Amino acid sequence: MRTFFISRLLQAIPTLFVIATLTFFMTRFAPGGPFDSDKAIPDEIKIKLQSHFGLNLPLFDQYLLYMKNLLAGDLGPSFKYVGWDVSELISLAFPVSLSLGISALLIALLIGLPAGMLAALRKNTLWDYLPMGIAMVGVCLPSFVLGPILIMVFATELKWLPALGWYSWTDLILPSLTLGLFYAAYVARLTRAGMLETLKQDYIRTARAKGASPSRVILRHAIRGGLLPVVTYLGPAFAGLVSGSFIIESIFFIPGLGKFFVTAAFNRDYTVVLGTVLFYATLIIILNLFVDFLQAWLDPKAREQQ
């Protein structure tokens, strides 16, 4: 078990290295540069700016320099936000995205798990068809359609909630619903399938034969196996929540890291783009590791394989 996690952690290092290299050269080979659009800047100042940020060095030297700083944990200064370090910018914008992601995940699990369990336990009744029908619609309703609909209903018509911006906690409700409902639908489908599969197993029959009460059979015995597909899905879901937040942040005008990243890429703010990509990659790698851990805890078979 321990060796598995250590080897996984060690694998993260070359992965991050490849990502950094790839992103570095991708941004540099793209047309345009950070100081191109500012036509008002005289040429001599532009050249000074470029030499200040080391952009006049040969490309490979720039790469080596960046990697050297990276090893020291320094993501460098932003080209566009003068006087700001990339890590400062990330620490400013990320908490916004994080609170959005966490509340969306909570919504997904709090709605999806019970709905899926209910459907599996009341198979082929109204309690199965109704939530599963809604879940099917939910899976096919992308956030950029759902978001505007929710704004129209709850903000424009009913005036219960604010539509746009990021000022108080009520601003969190509509965005996290928009982001979370899709995953709730998916989680519900996975939970149902997982529970149905588990309830057919021999060990459930054994538990029943021993005279365990129905609720004990479900809560003690079935739930572990039944939740496995959901846990496996959590890995891709984390990555999906991250990229989903890009869209949500642009629908609801939320100053999170996603919106920030797209702007930085448009501005050719090389260091910010690189820093954000690396930050997200690290985050996703850590979350995946966490998912592996959960999986091993729930499933004895996976534990042995590892």
- 17 touching other proteins, by CB under 8 A: no
- 101 touching other proteins, by CB under 8 A: no
Please choose, from the candidates 241, 242, 224, the residue with its C-alpha nearest in 3D space to the C-alpha of residue 295: 224
* Binding residues among 111-140 for other proteins as defined by CB under 8 A: 123-124, 136-137, 139-140
- 161 touching other proteins, by CB under 8 A: no
User: Measured between alpha carbons, how far is 184 from 197 in angstroms, rounded to an integer?
Assistant: 20
Give min distance, CB of 206 to other proteins, in A: 21
User: Measured between alpha carbons, how far is 161 from 199 in angstroms, rounded to an integer?
Assistant: 42
- 1 touching other proteins, by CB under 8 A: no
User: Measured between alpha carbons, how far is 273 from 30 in angstroms, rounded to an integer?
Assistant: 13
User: Measured between alpha carbons, how far is 166 from 73 in angstroms, rounded to an integer?
Assistant: 31
- 164 touching other proteins, by CB under 8 A: no
User: Measured between alpha carbons, how far is 263 from 80 in angstroms, rounded to an integer?
Assistant: 11
- 151 touching other proteins, by CB under 8 A: yes
**In angstroms, how far is CA 102 from the centroid of its own chain?**
9
- 179 touching other proteins, by CB under 8 A: no
- 223 touching other proteins, by CB under 8 A: no
Q: Return the residue of 36, 69, 125, 144 that touches other proteins, per CB under 8 A.
A: 144
Integer CA distances (angstroms), 86 to 17, 90, 94, 133, 279, in order: 18, 6, 12, 45, 11
Give min distance, CB of 215 to other proteins, in A: 22
According to DSSP, residue 303 is labeled: H
Residues in contact with other proteins by CB under 8 A are 11, 15, 19, 23, 26-27, 30-31, 123-124, 136-137, 139-142, 144-145, 147-148, 151-152, 156, 193, 196, 235-236, 239-240, 242-243, 246-247, 250-251, 261-262, 265-266, 273, 277, 280-281, 284-285, 288
